[in-house]
Amino acid sequence: MKKIISILLILCVIGAVFAADNTVVFNGLTAIDSRSPAMGGSHVADTSDYFTLLRNPAGLAFSGRHNLIGQTNITIGGPLEEALGMVTSGFDESQLMSTAMGLISQNKLNLGINLGGPIAFGGTYKNGFGWGLFEQVVVGMVAPSTTVKINLELDADLVFGYGHKFDLGEYGTLAAGISTDIYGQVPYLKAQKNLLTMLPAIAGGGDMTDALLSGINCCSTSGVNVNAGLQYEVLDFLSAGLVWNNFFNYTKKTPNLDDIFDNLDPAALLAFSESSTSVATGSLDLGVGFDIPTFWSLGIISDWTAYADMRDLVQLFKNDATKRNPMLNLGIGTELTLLKCISARLGINDSYLTAGIGLRLLGIHIDASLYGKELGVEPGATPQLNASVAIGIRH
């Protein structure tokens, strides 16, 4: 049993970020697209593919027709050097405990697993409409001290969006859009453990059932998020986007598992339900895009684009000691595509370098990215290295 638990914990380290705020982030939806993080994160002015639906609903007026038939995304992140060291040590349990305690002392034990798909399909259309259905499994573990917080959830999202454009003649084209995300998390498990109790049990043969399974809170959450955006394009190569993510949110939380067992009367269960509504919250993101001319490449370079975004603009005006350094909200990136099938991507996000490649074979898209992420509020405070791979069918 100890060996199994040790292996599972190591796998959590190696798989360390399916949930580490991956690529496109649409409300509670993560880990769908592996292209964006390679080019400095998601850019609100990018209307080049299906995932415009998740970036900026106004961009649907420009994105055209795209179909997503299915996609699976896997992201790995965290302290990769320590994870590889544990694997090469032959799953040595004492080494596992030593490494884990070392990570905790450096505030680096922030792990997660997120598998996006294979349920991921939808479409965007020339009339400005778009929709998508997505699912993901999320496992997260945070240990900023000797307390470990663990969560497990199965998420499902149904997304609808619409963008309408207005022709401004010689002044370009302006579009406005709105999207809604109807989501559910069933189940949503949360537990808080003390490492001083857990690790001796792992290494010394303690009661693992009590150490790992006691005090788990199980509930389900559902709700609705609404986004709004603007998109402006002029001169056939300049674009700008503004999106207000989650400007409206309604969330409903059902009773936890213990309440269900202790109160079988449906009327009594209502006392344990919680709901909340928020308006004018979320983040306000601004971005620009530029299509670089490629006529001189004789068709070898199919497309070359560059983007720059400033995210969460409202935070810049808040007098909050815990807010992130504005440099962490800046994302820039570029993508160069050769012969319409091979893409190279480069960027900066969270003050760290990002890079990746893409391959398109008929309708099969394969994307890989490597990028840094800052989990703290200042550059270099709590860095995390992430690697992401996705394979999907899109046309």
pLDDT digits (tens, 9 = 90+) for 42-67: 999 999 999 999 999 999 999 999 99
Is 70 exceeded by the pLDDT of residue 125?
A: yes
pLDDT digits (tens, 9 = 90+) for 227-252: 999 999 999 899 999 999 988 888 88
Residue 346, domain member (yes or no) = no
Burial of 300 (0-12, 13-18, 19+ CB in 10 A): exposed
The pLDDT value given to residue 166: 96
CA distance 13 to 111: 6
351-388: b (≥16 Cβ within 10 Å) or e: bbebbbebebeeeebebbbbbbbbbbeeeeeebbbbbb
CA distance 292 to 303: 8
DSSP 168: -
- Of 181, 135, 184, nearest to 159 (Cα)? 181
DSSP string, 239-305: EEEEEEEEEEEEEEEPPPHHHHHH---HHHHGGG-EEEEEES-SEEEEEEEEE---GGGTTSEEEEE
The pLDDT value given to residue 243: 95
CA distance 365 to 130: 20
The pLDDT value given to residue 6: 43
CA distance 27 to 183: 9
Query: What is the arithmetic mean of pLDDT over 129-142?
Result: 81
pLDDT digits (tens, 9 = 90+) for 296-350: 998 899 999 999 999 998 888 777 777 788 899 999 999 999 999 999 999 999 9
- Token digits of residue 390: 């996705």
- CA separation (Å) from 93 to 10, 47, 202? 10, 49, 8
pLDDT digits (tens, 9 = 90+) for 153-207: 778 899 999 999 999 999 999 999 999 999 887 766 666 666 555 555 555 555 5
CA distance 73 to 216: 28
Most confident of 85-94, 207-216, 283-292: 283-292
The pLDDT value given to residue 293: 93
pLDDT digits (tens, 9 = 90+) for 12-46: 433 333 333 333 333 345 557 889 999 999 999 99
The pLDDT value given to residue 268: 45
The pLDDT value given to residue 103: 57
The pLDDT value given to residue 378: 85
The pLDDT value given to residue 233: 96
Residue 31, domain member (yes or no) = yes
**Which amino acid appears at position 142 of this protein?**
V
Residue 110, domain member (yes or no) = yes
% the chain with pLDDT above 90: 40
8 Å CB contact between 189 and 216? yes
Please report, in angstroms and rounded to a whole number, the separation of the first and last CA atoms in the chain.
47
CA distance 240 to 286: 8
8 Å CB contact between 219 and 261? no
Q: How confident is the model at residue 375 (pLDDT cuts 50, 70, 90)?
A: confident
Q: pTM, whole model, 2 decimals?
A: 0.78
Residue 108, domain member (yes or no) = yes
The vertex-267 CA angle with 261 and 271, nearest 5°, equals 75
Residue 310, domain member (yes or no) = no
Residue 378, domain member (yes or no) = no
Residue 297, domain member (yes or no) = no
If one counts the domains in the chain, the total is: 1
The pLDDT value given to residue 192: 60
Query: How much is the mean pLDDT over the chain?
Result: 77
- Of 34, 33, 59, nearest to 47 (Cα)? 59
CA distance 181 to 155: 12
Residue 362, domain member (yes or no) = no
Instruction: Please report where in the chains the tokens 């259309």 appear, as a residue.
Output: 125
CA distance 22 to 36: 9
Range of the domain at 242: 2-291
